[in-house]
Structure formats: C-alpha cells, structure tokens
Amino acid sequence: MNTAGPATLGKPTAWPALVDRAGRRYPGDQPRWCGDDSSPLTVAQRPGITRADIDPGIPSQWRYAAALGMPGLAPVTLGEGRTPLLPRRLAGLDVAVKMETQNPTSSFKDRGSSVMLSVLRAQGVTSLLEDSSGNGGSSVAAYCAAAGIHAQILAPATTSPAKLLQSRFHGAEVELWSGTRQDTADEALRRSGERFYASHNWQPHFLEGIKLIAYEIWEDRGFTAPTAVVMPAGAGSLVLGCAQGFDELYRAGEIARPPRLLVSQPARCSPLVRAFVAGHDHVEPAQWHSTLAEGTAITRPVRDQEVLAAVRAGGGAMTAVDEAELGPAVLALARTGLYAEPTSAQVVPALAQFLAAGHLRPDDDVVAILTGSGHKAAATMAGLLDPDSR
C-alpha cells in the first residue's frame, strides 16, 4: 500500500466506520477496499440530512457534504453534480431525464470519484490501481490528476478509444488487458497486493458520492421524491447510491417514501436481472456475450447481494433490454436533443417494458437517469447512425 506521511491534506475531524457483510466494523480513517473476509465494505449508516443542512453557496454536489459525516474533508472537485432534470416524452410516458452526461468527464461516475479521491487523499494515498470498462477509469484519472495522485488504469482492450484517450490525457498509466471486462477485474484483484486498489466498484466512499444524486433530485424537485427512478446497472453503484440517498432522506423525515428503483441491463449481459427474476439473493455464474452497452457488461457484480436486496426492499423491478433495441433508443434520445451512449439509452426501452409489465403507471412521477455521453463512445455511435440521415 502506497501512502504519504502523516501530514495529509483536508483530514476530516470525524471518520464514519466501515462495515463488511458480516457486520464487522473497521476504522474509517484507514485506506481499505474490502473486509477481512474479502467482502465489500460500506460506510456505516448515516442519519441523513434536512434541507437546512444544504450549503446553497456551493454550486456542486458538495453542497450536500453534511450527508457524508466527515466534517473538515477537503473536496477534490471539478464541479461535479448540479446536472439538469429535463422534461421529455419517452416510451409514451412523461419523464424527467437526469442528465449525468453533463458531469465534468461526461458520466455519473464523477460523483463517486470526487468523494472517493477526497477521502483517499486525506488518508495519504499517493498511488492507486483502478480497473474499468471506460467511464470509471477516465473519471478516476481526472480526479487523481486534480488530487495529485498517480493512477494506473487497467482496461479491457475493447474499451472505447475516447475513454482511454481521456485517461491518458489526465496523466494516468493505462494498460489494456485482453479478454472480458470480468477478466480485467480479476487481473486487477491479482495485482491489488502491489498497489493500493481503488476500484470504484469496491471502494465504499465511491458509493457515498453516488448517493448525493438522490439529494440533488430531491432538492431540484422542490424537496420531493419521484415515485420511480429508472436507471441502467452494471456493477450497480447507481442503484445502491439512489437506494442509500433516498433512504437517508426518508429517515430524516424529508420524504414520505423512497421511490421504486427500476433497473435495466442489456439482455446479452444481465446477471442481476436473471438473479432477480429467479428470486436468488446473488448472481450465479453464467456465460454472457458482448454488448453495445459496454458500461453495464459486468458478469459478476461485486455488490450483487446488496443491489438485489435494495431493489426488492423498495418494491422495485429489473428488466433485460434486447440488443436490437439499443440503437433505436440512442437515436430516439438524440432526436429530442439528448446525446447518450447505448449504456444509458437502454432506459428508453426499459421504460416501455416497465410500463407494459405494470411496474410503471401513466400517472407515475418518473426520473430516468442518463449515465454517460455519446461522446465517450464515438465509434459505436457512428456505427448506429442511419446513412440516409447524414
């Protein structure tokens, strides 16, 4: 583990404990990425905040810093958050589209990277290893550059070139790995003893950043919650972040009930959906295939148990989107002015499926999250364009 000396930047005056699946607690001021039993860690339950705790003078997600429970933590920030909610008619429904494409590196991952890198910098980490299929890596690379931390990014060889280019521009050491996204994650785990492992899928404070999207949706809707939030999932950090953030708001008495979480995956790689439909509490090993929705092509999600439990606890649902529907979904969004990569665009056919299955009603108050920009998958986007429309 590479760490700096005792003098760290922005060290909080309080550190929430970390908790593993067995309930064991660990000091929050020590850089860790898993429990002693190799299970993923979460930050101990926070009480949530009220609207009085928001700092309206901060034009980023750090206006909700009180929800992190780490007073004195110096933010590593690029202005992430404060993304718009845009009204759109999609799949026969009136929805509010949360444009996470407008974050600094064009994906929702910036929310988690900002908090994670703020914590790791305060803990004295100076060099780290991350594995990613693209958006997570480019986000971590950008925030490492802002934090003065050296980043090594391990990515599948099939990763979109634009995402790799961005990581390299930020000064990250990028290494391509042959095989699947899961093969890349397995290799990163093998190397975790050589360099501090800061995988966005494993790091508990990454989820703490993602949960702030719930606070932002709540504030921007006049301090109310929607009845449903529709989102894509690969490892499921967005699902868990929304579940945690809205649960905190509920426990703080700020909302009457958390929204239902409605989650989509591409049919070619939908292990969470399969487990959910089968009633399992974890993902079973299976053979999956490549998909245009590369950001959700994760065959063994680290936090599968937690994701499945969160969706079920809130009365949510999951659905698998056919590959043939991804291209038309990208184009449908683009024709309304929204440029999203296939990973994000899958929410459009998912909306139709949830409506047909009765998980959504025409009178539901729905937020659909677009997680990443089409600019991050330029080659894929070019292949989807109808030649007659050029």
Q: Specify the range with the lowest mean pLDDT, choosing from 3-12, 68-77, 107-116.
A: 3-12
Q: What is the 3-state secondary structure (H, E, C) of the chain?
A: CCECCCCCCCCCCCCCCEECCCCCEECCCCCCCCCCCCCCCEECCCCCCCHHHCCCCCCCHHHHHHHHCCCCCCCCCCCCCCCCEEEEEECCEEEEEEEHHHCCCCECHHHHHHHHHHHHHHCCECEEEEECCCHHHHHHHHHHHHHCCEEEEEEECCCCHHHHHHHHHCCCEEEEECCCHHHHHHHHHHHCCCCCECCCCCCHHHHHHHCHHHHHHHHHCCCCCCCEEEEECCCCHHHHHHHHHHHHHHHCCCCCCCCEEEEEEEHHHCHHHHHHHHCCCCCCCCCCCCCCCHHHCCCCCCCHHHHHHHHHHCCCEEEEECHHHHHHHHHHHHCCCCCECHHHHCHHHHHHHHHHCCCCCCCCCEEEEECEEHHHHHHHHHHHCCHHHC
Average pLDDT over residues 27-56: 96
Does residue 125 belong to any structural domain of this protein? yes
Q: What is the mean pLDDT of residues 60-80?
A: 98
Name the phi and psi angles at 3, rounded to 5: -135, 160
Q: Which residue has the higher pLDDT, 148 or 379?
A: 148
Q: Which of 205, 208, 209, 238 is nearest to 367 (CA)?
A: 238
- The confidence score (pLDDT) of residue 86 equals 98
Within this chain, do residues 295 and 230 fall inside the same structural domain, yes or no? Answer: yes
Residues 292 and 168 in one domain: no
What is the dihedral sign for C-alpha 275, 279, 282, 284?
A: negative
Radius of gyration of the chain, Cα coordinates, nearest whole angstrom: 19
Whether 358 shows a pLDDT value over 90: the answer reads yes
Alpha-carbon span 268 to 265, nearest angstrom: 8
Look at residue 8 in the predicted model and tell me its pLDDT. 47
Shared domain for 362 and 284, answered yes or no, is yes
Confidence of residue 189 (pLDDT cuts 50, 70, 90): confident
Q: Give how many domains the chain has, as a whole number.
A: 2
Burial class for 86, CB neighbours closer than 10 Å (0-12, 13-18, 19+): middle
Q: Are residues 189 and 261 in the same domain?
A: no
Task: Based on the fold, state whether residues 239 and 125 are members of the same structural domain.
Answer: no
Tokens of residue 190, six digits: 């093998």
162 and 276 within one domain: no
In the numeric block, which tokens belong to residue 191? Answer: 């190397």
- Same domain for 182 and 210, yes or no, is no
Please give the residue range of the domain that contains residue 118.
109-203
The CATH number that applies at residue 353 is: 3.40.50.1100
Structural domain contains residue 306: yes
Is 389 a residue whose pLDDT tops 60? no
Q: Examine the pLDDT at 4 and tell me if it is beyond 50.
A: no
Q: Does a structural domain hold residue 350?
A: yes
On the question of pLDDT at 184 being above 70, the answer is: yes
Residues 312 and 374 in one domain: yes
Q: What pLDDT was estimated at residue 390?
A: 42
Domain assignment present for residue 47? The answer is no
CA distance 337 to 218: 24
Model pLDDT for residues 213-232, shown as the tens digit of each residue: 999 999 999 999 999 999 99
- Binning pLDDT at 50, 70 and 90, where does residue 9 land? low
Residue 83 has pLDDT above 80, yes or no: yes
Specify whether the CB–CB gap between 31 and 1 falls below 8 A: yes
- Tell me the pLDDT tens digit for each residue of 92-108: 999 999 999 999 999 99
Domain assignment present for 30: no
In a domain, 69, yes or no: no
Q: Is residue 300 part of a domain?
A: yes
388 to each of 131, 338, 385, how far by Cα in Å? 39, 20, 9
Mean pLDDT over all residues of the chain?
93
Do residues 93 and 228 both lie within one domain? yes
| Domain limit, last residue, from 171, 203, 235 | 203
Tell me: do 272 and 179 sit in the same domain.
no
Q: What tokens were used for 86?
A: 């845009």
Q: How high is the pLDDT of residue 77?
A: 98
Alpha carbons 108 and 334: distance in angstroms, whole number = 19
Go through 223-249 and write b for each residue having 16 or more CB atoms within 10 A of its CB, e for each that does not: eebbebbbbbbbbbbbbbbbbbbbbbb
In terms of domains, do 220 and 311 share one?
A: yes
Residue that is last in its domain, among 158, 177, 203: 203
Tokens 């850089």 correspond to 31
| 134-138, 237-241, 350-354: segment of lowest average pLDDT | 134-138
Q: Which two tokens stand for residue 318?
A: 């999951």
Question: Is 188 a residue whose pLDDT tops 70?
Answer: yes
Res 386: pLDDT: 61
Q: Which of 141, 172, 203 is the last residue of a domain?
A: 203
> Residue 3 pLDDT more than 50?
no
Same domain, 263 and 155: no
Domain-located, residue 172: yes
